[in-house]
Chains A and B, each alone.
Chain A
Amino acid sequence: MSPAPLLEFRDLTFERNDVPLFAGLCGAVHSGDILQILGANGAGKTTLLRVLSTALTPAAGSLSWRGAPLPRQRSRYLAELAFIGHTPGLKRALSPRENLRWLGGLFPLHRERMDAALALLGLAEWADIPCAQLSAGLLRRVALARLPLSGATLWILDEPLTAIDRDGTAQVEELLRRHQADGGAVVFSSHQALALPGVRQLTLAG
């Protein structure tokens, strides 16, 4: 028998103003999986990712983590989750380094590797400049700089490639490849195809 999947969702239904956004979604994410969520604008990609992260509660359906129902072990799940939403959640008055520092108090991060992570995402020269002065693409890179520091098993990334240039896309692909090799799993939404082997896709009908 194969081991229990990391994350499994069954019959997920989400309603907005009593109109179902998606219904009966099922799926599983195993160690080493990369799952891409596809769908037209407004199909519910962001909502699905937020439901998977437990920020939103589905109208019906269940989530389980490592084979056990999620609500009862939410804090264990959160300790192994890195969720990067489509608003990056960075403080504009603080520099990238200061932002990573406060995130390091909230999540398990290798804080001693911060310089390396900033350099990896091409942020070395921007590390101490207030985020208000950075471009959208650089801000996205700052948000993603959390990933190489994180010990999380599951990454849930909402549009990680928005505003990111071609070099940046290659860097993100490299991050995902390494995470995959380490036995981690990724669920992400993007309209772009990534040059990664074995990406599974889930399309939301809308």
Chain B
Amino acid sequence: METPELPGLAAGFGALLRRDLQLAWRQRGQAVNPLIFFVMVTALVPLAVGPEPALLTRLAPGMVWIMALLGTLLAADALFHEDFVDGALEHLVLSPQPLWLLVLAKVTAHWLVIGLPITLLSPLLGLMLALPDAGFMPLLVGLTLGTLVFSLLGAVGGALTVALGGRSVLLSLLVLPLYVPVLIFGTSAVTQAAAGGGIGGPLALLGAIAALALAVAPFAAAAALRTGIDG
């Protein structure tokens, strides 16, 4: 009996990424929930606080960033829990493929389904909140990096809480403090640009945080998953 070959790293990554994108497409009602939340809240702000452009301009960077943060956080909860419930997580943990690679595939899918659409929608919301023209570029670049960090850190939180009840509360408590620096640098990039200042500093810091999260989070989440299913 000849033995089939162990699929390569790229095949493993691709198979899981494809699976999660397929699942998101089949259950798209569920997948667009955070996006609808994101758009609705931002659309309600001018109605609630009044439509004066000066006030909205002041609020815009923070509002868009907070909504992006909460939208991703809402979805982080389900990242590993569904796989835990139906037993698919056991396949991931018992695969000869390195677990960090599979975590990375799941994070990539999560970002493509949640983070990327939020980033692409953000200019529209900037428009609704009277964001000055100079603010759009840093908003897009910042959110691209920021949502990636949110997904990566959300994966660590989701992995730590995978087998617990009342997960979303604990997940928020674990992850929110780590989200704060991203929020501060992200909004300050947009605010500084809108005020006519340079944006290199905050965006460079965001890039550094993203690089760090990319290097550390998959391993941390993999270790957390191993202990998570143990018991």
Contact = CB atoms under 8 A, between A and B. Distances in A.
B91 A103 contact: yes
Nearest to A47: B231
B92 to A, nearest CB: 7
A53 interface: yes
Interface string A40-59: 00000000000001111100
Contacts of A182: 1
The prevalent SS among residues of B at the interface is helix
B230 interface: yes
Contacts of A101: 15, 19
Contacts of A109: 4
Given A55-B230, A87-B86, A93-B26, A106 B91 contact: yes
Interface string B9-26: 001111110110011001
B86 A83 contact: no
A110 B4 contact: yes
Nearest to B19: A102
Contact of A104 (B7, B87, B96): B7
B52 interface: no
Nearest to B13: A105
Interface in A180-197: 182
Contact of B96 (A79, A90, A149): A79
A91 B25 CA distance: 13
Interface in A86-133: 86-94, 98, 101-111, 130
How large, as a class, is the contact surface on chain A? 35 or more
B18 A102 contact: yes
Given A81-B94, A105-B7, A88 B87 contact: yes
Nearest to A143: B87
Given A56-B231, A79-B96, A92 B86 contact: yes
Interface residues of B, number: 35
Most buried by B among A53, A75, A85, A102: A102
B6 interface: yes
Contact of B95 (A94, A106, A130): A106
Interface string A67-91: 0000000010011010101111111
B119 to A, nearest CB: 26
Contacts of A87: 86-87, 90
A110 B3 CA distance: 8
B93 interface: yes
Interface string B75-100: 00000000000111111111111000
Interface of B: 1-7, 11-16, 18-19, 22-23, 26-27, 86-97, 102, 229-231
13 contacts: A53-B94, A55-B93, A56-B230, A56-B231, A78-B94, A83-B94, A89-B91, A94-B19, A105-B14, A105-B15, A106-B16, A107-B7, A151-B4
Interface of A: 16, 53-57, 75, 78-79, 81, 83, 85-94, 98, 101-111, 130, 149-151, 182
Given A83-B94, A105-B13, A108-B7, 18 more contacts: A53-B94, A55-B229, A55-B230, A56-B229, A87-B86, A89-B87, A89-B88, A90-B86, A91-B23, A105-B15, A105-B16, A106-B92, A106-B95, A108-B4, A150-B4, A151-B1, A151-B2, A182-B1
